[in-house]
Amino acid sequence: MTPAALAPTRARKWFVVILLALGMVIAYVDRANLSVVLALPDFRQLFRLTDADRGVLNSAFFWTYALLQIPAGWLIDRYGAKIPYAAGFLFWGIVSAATGLVQNVNQLIGARLLLGIGESVSTAASLRWIRCNCKEEERGLATGILFSGTKFGAAIGAPVTAFLVTRFNWRLMFLITGLGGLIWLVGWVGFVERDGAGPKRAGFGGGHLTAFNHISPRVMSGIVLGTFAYNYFIYFCLTWLPSYLVEARHLSLTSMSLYTMFSFGGMAVVGILAGWAADRLIGRGLGAVRVRKTFTILGFVMASTEVFGALSGSRSVALFFAVFSLSGLGLATANYWALTQTLVPAGAIGRVVGVQNFASNISGAVAAFLTGWLKQITGNYEAPMLAVLAILLLGLFSYGWLVKTNLRMAPAAAN
Determine the Cα–Cα distance for residues 86 and 65; give it in Å rounded to an integer: 17
* pLDDT grade for 140, boundaries at 50, 70 and 90: confident
Q: Please give the Cα distance from 94 to 10 (Å, whole number).
A: 33
pLDDT of residue 405: 58
Residues 359, 94, 78: CA angle, nearest 5 degrees = 50
Query: For residue 359, what pLDDT is reported?
Result: 84
C-alpha torsion 121→353→275→332, nearest 10: 110
As a whole number, the mean pLDDT across the chain is 83
User: Helices (H) and strands (E) in the chain — how many of each?
Assistant: 19, 0
pLDDT computed for residue 7 by the predictor: 54
Q: Could you tell me the pLDDT band of residue 413, with boundaries at 50, 70 and 90? A: very low
Q: Residue 308: helix, strand or coil by DSSP?
A: helix
pLDDT of 246-301, one tens digit each? 888 888 877 888 888 888 888 888 988 998 999 899 988 888 888 999 999 999 99
Domains of the chain, start order: 3-193+213-404 (1.20.1250.20)
Q: What are phi and psi of 26, to 5 degrees?
A: -65, -40
Is pLDDT at 57 greater than 80 in this prediction?
A: yes
In this prediction, residue 195 carries a pLDDT of 67
Q: Give the ranges where 197-287 is alpha helix by DSSP (H).
A: 217-247, 253-283
User: Looking at per-residue confidence, does 372 or 211 come out higher?
Assistant: 372
Sign of the CA dihedral with 58 first, then 62, 65, and 68 last: negative
Q: Is the pLDDT of residue 6 over 50?
A: no
Q: How far is it, in rounded angstroms, from Cα 125 to Cα 93?
A: 17
What confidence tier does 91 reach under pLDDT thresholds 50, 70, 90? Answer: very high
d(CA 388, CA 248): 16
Q: Percent of the chain beyond pLDDT 90?
A: 31
Q: Which residue has the higher pLDDT, 129 or 403?
A: 129
Q: Which residue has the higher pLDDT, 393 or 197?
A: 393
Q: Are 268 and 63 in contact (CB under 8 A)?
A: no
pLDDT at 73: 81
Closest CA to 260 of 358, 115, 160, 347: 160
For the segment 331-346, the average pLDDT, to the nearest whole number, is 78
pLDDT over 70 at 154, yes or no: yes
Across 113-123, average pLDDT: 92
Q: What is the residue-wise DSSP string for 45-91?
A: HHHT--HHHHHHHHHHHHHHHHHTHHHHHHHHHHH-SHHHHHHHHHH
User: Which pLDDT does position 127 carry in this prediction?
Assistant: 84
Going by pLDDT thresholds of 50, 70 and 90, the confidence category of residue 208 is: very low
| HSE-CB for 317 with a 13 A CA cutoff | 10
Query: Quick one: pLDDT band at residue 197, thresholds 50, 70, 90?
Result: low
Q: Which of 155-159, 173-177, 344-348, 370-374 has the lowest mean pLDDT?
A: 344-348
Residue 5 has pLDDT above 60, yes or no: no
Average pLDDT over residues 377-403: 90
Rounded Cα distance between 283 and 250, Å, is 47
Task: Give tens-digit pLDDT for 343-382.
Answer: 766 666 667 777 887 887 788 788 888 998 899 899 888 8
